[in-house]
């Protein structure tokens, strides 16, 4: 079996399963948010109270981590297919993955700061 350092999973099947699992988590999170927005009258206080719930914080953190895994695999697959210059591909992958990590870190700090 070929091991590639740029992939998140151990194989294509593992990446496939991770992509589907993270997509389900992200879909559930979007449904959770849309459901909340649909049944409540929005104000800053309601929104702040919603994000101060432990369930919402944990679910949001799960969604952020799912976004990181999903984007990492997607970035690797797209760049491997379409960017042939190794230096450019490596640079783009590093920059975009670093941005995804920054989203998770900032999301964690903002989320648990509420």
Whether the Cβ atoms of residue 45 and residue 4 lie closer than 8 Å to each other: no
Reported confidence tier of residue 12, pLDDT bands at 50, 70, 90 = confident
Query: CA neighbours within 13 Å on the CB side: how many for 69?
Result: 21
Q: In this predicted model, what pLDDT tens digit does every residue of 67-113 receive, in sequence order? A: 999 999 999 999 999 999 999 999 999 999 999 999 999 999 998 88
Q: What angle do CA 3, 95, 13 make, to 5 degrees?
A: 30
Task: State pLDDT tens for residues 22-39.
Answer: 999 999 999 999 999 999
**pLDDT tens track for 45-70:** 999 999 999 999 999 999 999 999 99
pLDDT of 3 = 55
Q: Where are the domains of the chain?
A: 12-112
Q: Which ranges constitute the DSSP H helices of 40-85?
A: 44-52, 54-82
Residue 64, C-beta contacts closer than 8 angstroms, at least 6 positions apart: 103, 104, 107, 108, 111
CATH fold, domain 12-112, is: 3 helical TM bundles of succinate and fumarate reductases (1.20.1300)
């Amino acid at each position: 079996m070929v091991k590639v350092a740029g992939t998140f999973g151990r194989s294509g099947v593992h990446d496939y399963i991770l992509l589907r699992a993270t997509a389900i988590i992200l879909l559930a999170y979007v449904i959770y948010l849309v459901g909340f927005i649909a049944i409540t009258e929005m104000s800053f206080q309601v929104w702040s109270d919603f994000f101060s719930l432990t369930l919402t914080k944990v679910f949001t953190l799960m969604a952020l981590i799912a976004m990181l895994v999903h984007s990492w695999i997607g970035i690797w697959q797209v760049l491997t297919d379409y960017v042939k210059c190794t230096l450019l591909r490596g640079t783009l992958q590093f920059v975009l993955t670093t941005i995804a990590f920054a989203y998770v870190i900032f999301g964690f700090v903002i989320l648990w700061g509420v």
